[in-house]
């Protein structure tokens, strides 16, 4: 049958995403290398044998790379160019997914969650998973066709459903049951739905005084050394750092040079020579032009045609050359900020006293060429040799370059200004102090590194975090002083002073009157604040609220009006709101549950030793 033939043909492609989850359960058994018996006895793992270890289970480098390469292939098939940053993001995402799937699979096993053959049949017939409902073979006019799907399920032509049944039994249904267990106690009350409707739809009109930090005499705020020491003692655990390695490095940016300009200029002269020898300008434009606008709406080549344009519409060098030439001329190479242009004057005319040119051009961009690449790499290589032979500092003097510094930890490989360079982290953790690297490169730079120092795991010393502590203490003191000011104003209001009188009697405060908005959008006078929203939810016209915490201080609010709820509109929207709230709660429960698993897990990340 045609449907099943299509399904069998595409099954390996469609199921791959789910098969990844299934294969994770096999990671330890079939996909990891053998461990050294001494390491096993000592409870150690050789980083060469694993990309990481999750609760004692090794994740093999081959398996990790297989998943990364699969993601890379998908991007490339979609025509995307994979940059260093994108590659790093993919690796991080794959690693996070492996951790999540491993921990979830272990939890399912520990909880004894399984699936029977009867449950597999029931779910296939009544609750097909998304990877099946999105298969083109089971769709009609772009929508899932249940009857077409059931015809295939109920009329198999062989064992083509076996891998689907296995995945349903080992992964899909156990995960479905786990979610049901996690979500069993979640509910959304009518009150929560009503509050959410109010946040989105009910308009509040308020007067507000916003007491902000600038109202405080900050010059009088002081932070003592003893306060900093006490804060450090109390918060020492917050400053725990993994082992870090400090690198110094020299970098060379990959950018076009004078030789690239000359090379591009000569290429332009060669094209002009072809035109002078009778070659068709449009054909050459379609072949050589690097102007991204050289295609029309149907993605067909335009032959370099720019249409009619007036003086000043193009960049000045281009415009000057075009309007100085005669009809039929080919001029150039003309250098602009975009590169070299070869310009053909197709026609000229004057409209309403303004000269116009109908032109075409061939754009050759000045890019980082092979010769410049070789020269730059040669500079980096010579520096590396000299640094290894005579010392890094001596090489800095000899080559007249300046070094930068960067501290590398397991999670940190975004090096300013170079960007992503995982090899630098790998070098840092595989080297001894004073060791110099060979030249490394990413999309934009070459770089040479030296390992400067090693800082062991533990709390950062006080001197390294002193400024952070001082800023935090100062911020808390300013916030407390701001609250004190707002509380004093509220006391005056309670004694009968109006909002207008408060502002008139106290310099530096501004009264915003008659501001109307719904709670989810916040108020321009005080910004968006959960404290403000919570207080207004239960407020009535005439209430005075505050002080209420905001992002920049504290708000005092007089509620002037609260619009009525439209009962008919509420009835229409309440089910949608309830489903949205339920989904949000479910997502939060799962995230909290997963975070607890991660916090309690023993996870070792050895990626820095592999790339």
* Tokens 């990877």 found at: 131
CB 608 within 8 A of CB 425: yes
Helix (H/G/I), strand (E/B), else coil: 548: strand
68-85 pLDDT, tens digit each: 998 888 888 877 877 878
* pLDDT exceeds 70 at position 14: no
**Residue among 372, 379, 381 at smallest CA distance from 437:** 381
- Determine which helix (DSSP H) or strand (DSSP E) holds 279, and give its type and residue range: none
Q: Is the pLDDT of residue 10 over 50?
A: no
The secondary element (H helix, E strand) that includes residue 425 is: helix 422-430
Burial 408-438 (b: 16+ CB within 10 A, else e): bbeeebebeebbbbbbbbbbbbebeeeebbe
How far apart, in Å, do the first and last CA atoms of the chain sit? 48
Compute CA distances 140 → 5, 8, 144, 149, 210, whole Å: 17, 19, 6, 10, 58
C-alpha–C-alpha distance, residues 374 and 106, integer Å: 51
Mean pLDDT score, 414-443 = 88
Single out the residue of 515, 573, 514, 519 nearest to residue 202, CA to CA. 519
Can you tell me the distance from the alpha carbon of 301 to that of 286, in angstroms, rounded to the nearest whole number? 6
pLDDT of amino acid 134: 87
Q: Are 289 and 363 in contact (CB under 8 A)?
A: yes
Q: Say whether pLDDT at 65 is over 60.
A: yes
Give ∠ CA 203-207-212 in degrees, rounded to 5: 115
| Cβ(529)–Cβ(549) below 8 Å | yes
Q: Is 145 helix (H, G, I), strand (E, B) or coil?
A: coil
Look at the block and give the residue holding tokens 């005319």.
349
- Give the span between the Cα atoms of 291 and 303, in whole angstroms: 11
- 481's tokens: 């002083």
Alpha-carbon distance of 320 to 340, in angstroms, equals 14
Taking 90 as the threshold, does the pLDDT of residue 8 lie above it?
no
**pLDDT higher than threshold 70 for residue 23:** no
| Domain boundaries of the chain, sorted by first residue | 2-183+603-609, 203-237+464-563, 258-364, 376-456
Question: What are the tens digits of pLDDT across the range 345-398?
Answer: 999 999 999 999 999 999 999 988 888 999 999 999 999 999 999 999 999 999
Instruction: Report the alpha-carbon distance of residue 472 to residue 490 in Å, rounded.
Output: 27
Residue with tokens 């150690």: 44
157: helix, strand or coil: coil
Between these two residues, 442 and 30, which has the higher pLDDT value? 442
pLDDT digits (tens, 9 = 90+) for 229-274: 999 999 998 998 888 888 999 999 998 888 899 999 999 999 999 9
DSSP 295: B
Q: How buried is residue 548: exposed, middle or buried, by Cβ count under 10 Å (0-12/13-18/19+)?
A: buried
Mean pLDDT of all residues in the chain?
87
Residue 355: other Cβ atoms inside 10 A: 12
Read off the pLDDT band of 408 (50, 70, 90). Answer: confident
Cβ(68)–Cβ(402) under 8 Å?
no
203-237+464-563 to CATH, choices 3.40.720, 3.10.50, 3.40.50, 2.40.128: 3.10.50
- Residue 431 is classified by DSSP as S
Q: Residue 413's pLDDT is what?
A: 67
Assessment of whether the complete model's pTM goes beyond 0.75: no
User: Are 203-237+464-563 and 258-364 the same fold in CATH?
Assistant: yes
Structural contact between residues 581 and 191, judged by C-beta atoms closer than 8 angstroms: no
Helix H or strand E segment including 574: helix 567-600
pLDDT at 297: 65
Q: Which of 455, 457, 415 is nearest to 437 (CA)?
A: 415
pLDDT digits (tens, 9 = 90+) for 546-562: 999 999 999 999 999 99
3-state DSSP assignment of residue 105: helix
What fold does the segment set 258-364 form as a domain?
Chitinase A; domain 3 (3.10.50)
pLDDT exceeds 60 at position 25: no
pLDDT tens-digit profile of 491-516? 999 999 999 999 998 888 999 999 99
Is residue 541's pLDDT more than 60? yes
Q: pLDDT tens, 161-182?
A: 888 889 999 989 999 999 999 9
The DSSP line for 22-52 is HHHTTHHHHSSPPPPHHHHHHT---GGG-SE
CB 149 within 8 A of CB 104: no
DSSP notation for 45-84: --GGG-SEEETTEEE-HHHHHHHHHHHHHHHHHTT----H
CA distance 203 to 566: 12
192 vs 201: CA distance, rounded Å: 14
Provide the 8-state DSSP code for 116.
-
The whole-angstrom separation of Cα 478 and Cα 488 is: 15
Residue 43 has pLDDT above 50, yes or no: no
């Amino acid at each position: 049958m045609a449907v099943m033939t299509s399904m069998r043909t595409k099954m390996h492609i469609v199921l791959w995403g789910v098969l990844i989850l299934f294969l994770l359960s096999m990671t330890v058994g079939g996909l990891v290398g053998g461990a050294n018996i001494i390491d096993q006895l000592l409870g150690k793992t050789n980083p060469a044998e694993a990309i990481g270890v999750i609760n004692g289970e090794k994740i093999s480098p081959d398996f990790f790379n297989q998943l990364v390469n699969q993601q890379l292939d998908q991007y490339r098939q979609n025509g995307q160019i994979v940059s260093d940053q994108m590659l790093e993001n993919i690796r991080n995402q794959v690693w996070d997914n492996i951790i999540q799937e491993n921990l979830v699979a272990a939890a399912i096993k520990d909880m004894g969650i399984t699936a029977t053959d009867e449950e597999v049949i029931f779910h296939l017939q009544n609750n097909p998973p998304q990877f099946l409902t999105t298969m083109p073979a089971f769709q009609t006019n772009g929508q899932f066709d249940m009857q077409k799907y059931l015809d295939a399920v109920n009329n198999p032509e062989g064992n083509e459903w076996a891998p689907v049944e296995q995945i349903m039994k080992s992964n899909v249904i156990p995960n479905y049951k786990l979610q049901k267990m996690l979500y069993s106690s979640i509910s959304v009350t009518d009150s929560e739905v009503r509050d959410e409707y109010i946040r989105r739809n009910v308009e509040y009109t308020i007067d507000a005084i916003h007491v902000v930090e600038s109202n405080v005499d900050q010059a009088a705020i002081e932070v003592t050394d003893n306060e900093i020491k006490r804060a450090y003692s109390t918060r020492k655990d917050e400053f725990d750092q993994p082992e870090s390695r400090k690198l110094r490095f020299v970098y060379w940016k990959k950018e076009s040079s004078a030789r690239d300009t000359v090379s591009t200029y000569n290429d332009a002269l060669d094209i002009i020579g072809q035109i002078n020898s009778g070659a068709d300008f449009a054909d050459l434009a379609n072949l050589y032009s690097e102007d991204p606008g050289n295609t029309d709406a149907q993605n067909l080549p335009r032959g370099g045609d720019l249409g009619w344009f007036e003086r000043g519409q193009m960049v000045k060098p281009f415009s000057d050359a075009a309007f100085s030439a005669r009809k039929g001329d080919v001029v150039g190479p003309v250098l602009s900020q975009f590169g070299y242009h070869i310009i053909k004057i197709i026609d000229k005319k004057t409209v309403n006293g303004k000269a116009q040119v109908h032109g075409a051009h061939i754009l050759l961009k000045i890019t980082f060429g092979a010769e410049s690449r070789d020269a730059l790499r040669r500079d980096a290589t010579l520096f590396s040799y000299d640094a290894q032979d005579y010392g890094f500092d001596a090489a800095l003097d000899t080559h007249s370059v300046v070094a930068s510094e960067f501290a590398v930890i397991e999670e940190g490989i975004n090096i300013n200004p170079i960007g992503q360079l995982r090899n630098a982290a790998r070098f840092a953790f595989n080297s001894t102090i004073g060791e110099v690297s060979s030249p490394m490169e990413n999309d934009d730079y070459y770089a040479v590194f030296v390992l400067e120092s090693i800082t062991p795991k533990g709390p950062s010393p006080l001197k390294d975090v002193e400024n952070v502590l001082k800023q935090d203490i100062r911020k808390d003191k300013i916030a407390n002083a701001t609250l004190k000011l707002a509380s004093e104003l509220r006391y005056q209001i309670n004694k009968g002073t109006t909002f207008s009188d408060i502002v008139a009697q106290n310099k530096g405060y501004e009264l915003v009157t008659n501001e109307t908005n719904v709670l989810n959008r916040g108020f321009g006078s005080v910004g968006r604040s959960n404290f403000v929203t919570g207080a207004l939810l239960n407020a009535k016209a005439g209430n005075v609220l505050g002080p209420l915490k905001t992002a920049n201080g504290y708000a005092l609010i007089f509620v002037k009006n609260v619009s009525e709820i439209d009962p008919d509109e509420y009835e229409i929207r309440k089910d949608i709101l309830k489903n949205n709230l339920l989904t949000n709660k479910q997502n939060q429960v799962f995230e909290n549950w997963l975070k607890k698993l991660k916090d309690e897990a023993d996870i070792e990340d050895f990626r820095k030793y592999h790339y």
